[in-house]
Structures are given as structure tokens and as C-alpha cells.
Chains A and B, each alone.
Chain A
Amino acid sequence: MFTAMMKIRRAEERLMEIFATGVIPGFIHVGIGQEAVAVGVCSALRKDDCIANTHRGHGQAIAKGIDLKGFMAEIYGKRNGVCKGRSGSMHIADKASGILGSNGIVGGGIPLAMGNAFASHYVNDGRVTVCFFGDGASNEGTFHESLNLASLWNLPIIFCCENNEWAQFTPIEKYIKIGNISNRAAAYGMPGISVDGDDVLAVHDAAKRAVTRARKGKGPTLIECKTHRWFGHFAGDKQKYRPPEEIETVRKYDPILRFQTRLVEGNILGQRDIDEIEQRIRREIDEAVTFAEESPSPGPDELFDDVSREEK
């Protein structure tokens, strides 16, 4: 879990650096500070389980085990990206690692994730689906429609709300009146729980219980993970809308440092182990970046590929 969190942190830091040089097209949304949510949840899943991630979904994809080279090449818009360069950062999907797709539409992925869970239910394959979304998305109609339907049909899905207290540029007190988003679960007849989303073990425990419940056919759970977004909505966002003292102090919640302290104090991890992990991750990221840089861009003749599927 520690390695996975570290890998996400370092990969996103690298992405921010590269993005600042203008090499990466479009825009990217990083989730630095929110690593414990992705890792805590995905570590409770089987390889063949699925997740739907959000526009801030790099961490979720890495935690679910996406190939880092294909991931990086996709963000570069290259042909060897997991989606042939058509998705970029915001719409990454990878069937091989059970990633249904991140979504550029806030709340847009919630019904789709439910559909994947429905398919598991229909063919009885024992898989569960986790649907990640943010606090902002919990005000979309799709959230309410999907929680109701998934609960009604006992679908094997976990609704995981990453509450980082900011919906793009607006603070949470301006868009949600209740203190815990998990309270909304009661309206749909499913369990709801709020956990410290910067505590990877707390997230993991909650996810594990929800996964067990879903796999037994007992239906969905809403887990709210209260976490913190260190940076702006998009890479390069100057956050003029955010109190400067909050920007300065938000790093005190660092989920990685917290977990690391715990591991070190418990004598589970030493400084040498940490250095080794850092080195291994750096190598892996270096390789992925090189792969992305060297990958060819898609050619104009590929424009019409995959618009629709025609019988051969």
C-alpha cells in the first residue's frame, strides 16, 4: 500500500513538472494528497474487480494496476497509450486492469459503473465494481438515481465519494448543507459510512467490509472518504479563490507521511526500505516517461477508427 501511494505521488509530481513544460496537450487534474483513498479502496479489490474513476483519476488508475507506460503514453496523446491517444488524462480506460473509464462529466460515470455491476449481477460472475466520484458529483441527479436503483436491485457496487471539500473552485459549505455526504445513503436504504480519507488503513477497512457485503449479494454501500486536495482544480490553477492559509496548511494531512510514520514506528519499514522503494518507483516512472516520449503520435488516417464497429 505504501509503495502504491508513493508511486501515485511521484507519478503525479512528475506529470505536473512535464505539464508545466507544455509537452502534454490539454489539461490534467492531479489528486496529490488524496492517494490514501485510491489505494485503500483498490487494495481491497480482486484483480478482476472493476473501478470507474473520475476526472481526477490518475491515482485510482495506478492503484488499480494500470500499466504505467500505457498510462503515461495516453496522457501524452500517443498511439501506444492505453486508449490509442484518444482519451488523454481525463477519459482513461483500461479493460485489462478493470478500469471502466474516467469521465470528463462530473457524475457521468456513476450510472455506467452501476451498469457494469448489473452485468456482474446478471451473469453472476462474483465481481464487484467500485464507483469513484467527488463531493461535487453527489449533487448530480445521476448520483441519486443510481444509488436508488443499485440499492433496489442489490447490485454489487461500492459508491466511493472522495470528499476533498472543493467542487472545482467552490468550497463545500456553498453547495452541501449536511456535514456527512454518507448520510445520503439512508435515503436509498443502503449503509453509509464516513471515514478519514487520509488514513489508508481506515479506508481499506471500510472498503473491505463493503466489498464483502457486495460480493455476498447484499447490495451497495456508500463510503465517504474525507480527504484534501493539495493543489488546484487543474495543474497550473493559481487557486486565487482559496484562502492562502488553507493552501499552506493542507499538507499537514499528508496521507503518505502519516502511513510512513506508522510503518517506521511499528518497525515494519526502515529508511533503507523507503529509499529502495523511492528508487524503484523513480526508475519505473523514468521508463514510462521515456516510453511516452518515444511513442509515435496517431496518424491522420486513424481519425475515423472506432467511431462505430462494423462487421468485417
Chain B
Amino acid sequence: MGEVRYIRAITEALREEMSRDERVFVIGEDVGLSGGAFSATRGLLEEFGERRVRDTPISESAIVGLAAGAAAAGLRPVVEIMFMDFMTLCMDQVVNQMAKMRYMFGGQSKVPMVIRTPCGAGLNAGPQHSQCLEALFAHIPGLKVVMPSTPYDVKGLLKSSIRDDNPVIFVENKALHAISGEVPEGEYTIPLGKGEIKRKGKDVTVVATSRMVHQSLVAAERLEEEGIHIEVIDPRTINPLDRGIILTSVEKTSRLVIAHEAVKAFGIGAEISAMVCEEAIDSLDGPIIRVGAPFTPIPFSLESTYLPGVHDIIDAVHRVMEYSWG
């Protein structure tokens, strides 16, 4: 296929999985007639018809609950929640129902479903259309949380998520929808729970998610000019987390920076940091530095001030490099 846009890689994954498995259907607000608010489902209605591409009322709880009930009955729904901020409208269905049904009913039913939802600031969409809320969902046992950064990853991971027998929160980033990248012809999947080294380096490990992977790769180029070689790791799945790839890298570099777009406080950076402290504190030559957004709602007009970026990563890397014990 060559260069493909991130959003079209999503469409392609949906089309392939719908063709492969009759039980897969797409449901959400504006997913049919309009092809989706971000056009992820464009062309699916024409190809698969109204039975499998379901435009719904604006009723997030009903949509997610319907999907969970249908999944328990044997179907494989793919829900679109238009903005990740809207996930708060269906929290009972996600947290108390979908995530727990398998466990509390003693394993009688599996709940194979995906909720695709775009997160992220950068479009001046304001405080209620821009949040990255992955930490909320990573905190809930029973849910998987996936956060792909490239067109290649988004396609392979979405296909795996649809085939997974557990509920998956699939977090796209709106700022990535327009990027292009290499996507091969033909079938491939990427296993959930497997991270990837996006750039090799020996001096500092930078664990970055979603949009921050790209910021880290730009930072890596600039740091290279100073003679600092960072290793950029994209966990790709937040939960289950590929602890091994992070620990192996930290054991090599002895320094760790974690970068995510969500607010820094109480985010997944804290979880990764604590995990590394518990498992590999002897490997560390300095403090673990987190890069994330400030602890404010996302402003409409000060978005560029708010968003963590390349400079923040470079600063963080400098701080760990300059640190020396006592």
C-alpha cells in the first residue's frame, strides 16, 4: 500500500475485519451516512450496509451498553465514541458493566468489543473535546487500553483489538489522524502488550505514547547533534504494559524520561516510574523525569503553551543527563 494516512489505516483495518468476520459491526454517532466525524468509517456503510454500520442517537450509555450486551451474546462490536471526553457519558457501562461482566459472572461470557475514541489537543477544540484520559481506563481491571502512534501500528493493533476476546479501549490521537506512514500490502497484526523501540540509543530511555512518540523522535534528532543518544520506546499498549521492553532499556541506559500528552499528575507516567523503581532501582543513575501537560483543563486559546512538546523532552533529557548522585 505504501504511504497511508493514519485515519485511512483505521478504515482499512475495519474493512478487513468486517470482511473477515460477519460478527464484527460498527456502531456509533455519525459512523454511517457521514462516514464518521473524523471519516474513520468512510465507505463502510456503502460496502457493508445498514445492518453492520449503525448510526445511533446521541446516547453514549445506550451505545456502549448495547455493544457490551451484544458482545456477551457472541457478536464483536466496534464502537466509536467521537471524542474521548465523551467517554465520561458512558462510564457506568464501561467501568461497572463491560469491564467486570466476565469476572463477576464467573467467566460465563467473554466480552469481545472495541471502543475507538480519539483523544488529544492541538485543534483548539477546547476543554471538552481535547483530553487524553487513558489513565482512567488503565486503572480498571478487565479493560485493555491501546494507544497507537503510527499508521502501521494503528492498523495492526486495531485488527488485534477486534480479534481480542476482552473489551479494549482503543485511543487514537486526533493530531495523528492526518500523518502518513508506511503500511504494507496484505494481512498483518500486532500483538497487544508488545512495545516497540522506535529509535535505538544508549544514553537515556524515553518512554513515549501516542503523539509524544513523534515529539520524542524529533527531540532525538536534536539531541543527537549534542552527542546524546536517546532510545525511544513506544509501549503501544498501555494495559497490558510491556514492562520487559522498558526494563531492558533502562538497564542499558540507566536513565529514564516518560512523556505523555495527558496531564502529568497521576498519569501513566507515574505508574511506569513506580514500576521501574520497584523492579530496577539499582539500574538508575538519576531521577525519573516525567513530561506531561500541566494540571489545568485544556485551554482554548493557550493550547500551544499547554501542550507538552519537543522542548520539554529535551529539557527533561538534559536534566537526567546532568544529574549526579550526592
A-side residues, CB < 8 A to B, are 81-87, 91, 93-95, 100-101, 103-105, 108-120, 122-123, 141-142, 145-146, 148-149, 152, 305-309, 311
Contact = CB atoms under 8 A, between A and B. Distances in A.
B130 interface: no
Given A114-B69, A116-B72, A309 B110 contact: yes
B280 interface: no
Nearest to A147: B62
A306 B103 contact: yes
B93 to A, nearest CB: 6
A93 B166 contact: no
Contacts of A83: 104-106, 108
A82 B67 CA distance: 24
B51 to A, nearest CB: 7
A104 B65 contact: no
With most chain B CB atoms within 10 A of its CB, the pick from A94, A115, A116, A145 is: A115
Given A82-B106, A146-B65, A108 B73 contact: no
Nearest to B103: A306
B102 to A, nearest CB: 5
A81 B106 CA distance: 9
Nearest to A142: B61
B33 interface: no
A148 to B, nearest CB: 6
Given A83-B106, A115-B72, A149 B57 contact: yes
A146 B67 CA distance: 12
A307 B109 CA distance: 12
Contacts of B96: 104-105, 108
A305 B107 contact: yes
Interface in B59-117: 59, 61-75, 92-93, 96-97, 101-110
A94 B104 CA distance: 11
Nearest to B240: A308
Given A91-B105, A105-B92, A122-B25, A100 B72 contact: yes
Contacts of B106: 81-87, 93, 306
B56 interface: yes
Top 8 nearest A-B pairs (CB, nearest first) are A115-B69, A111-B65, A119-B73, A84-B106, A145-B62, A83-B106, A306-B107, A145-B59
B272 to A, nearest CB: 20
Contacts of B75: 118-119, 122-123
Nearest to A90: B104
B182 interface: no
Nearest to B144: A308
B73 A115 contact: yes
Given A83-B105, A101-B104, A119-B73, 5 more contacts: A103-B97, A111-B93, A115-B71, A116-B73, A146-B66
B142 interface: yes
A114 B97 contact: no
B107 A84 contact: yes
A105 B68 CA distance: 15
Most chain A beta-carbon contacts within 10 A, residue among B56, B73, B93, B107: B73
B66 A111 contact: yes
B69 A118 contact: yes
A81 B57 CA distance: 39
B74 to A, nearest CB: 6
B165 interface: yes
Contacts of B144: 308
B57 A309 contact: no
14 contacts: A85-B106, A87-B104, A87-B106, A95-B105, A101-B101, A108-B96, A109-B97, A112-B65, A112-B68, A116-B72, A120-B73, A307-B142, A309-B165, A311-B165
A116 B75 CA distance: 10
A104 B25 CA distance: 29
A93 B108 contact: yes
B85 to A, nearest CB: 17
B141 interface: yes
A46 to B, nearest CB: 16
A111 B61 CA distance: 7
B69 A113 contact: yes
A108 B97 contact: yes
B100 to A, nearest CB: 8
Interface-centre pick from B59, B65, B107, B144 (highest chain A CB count, 10 A): B65
B65 A115 contact: yes
Given A87-B105, A306-B102, A306-B103, A142 B65 contact: yes
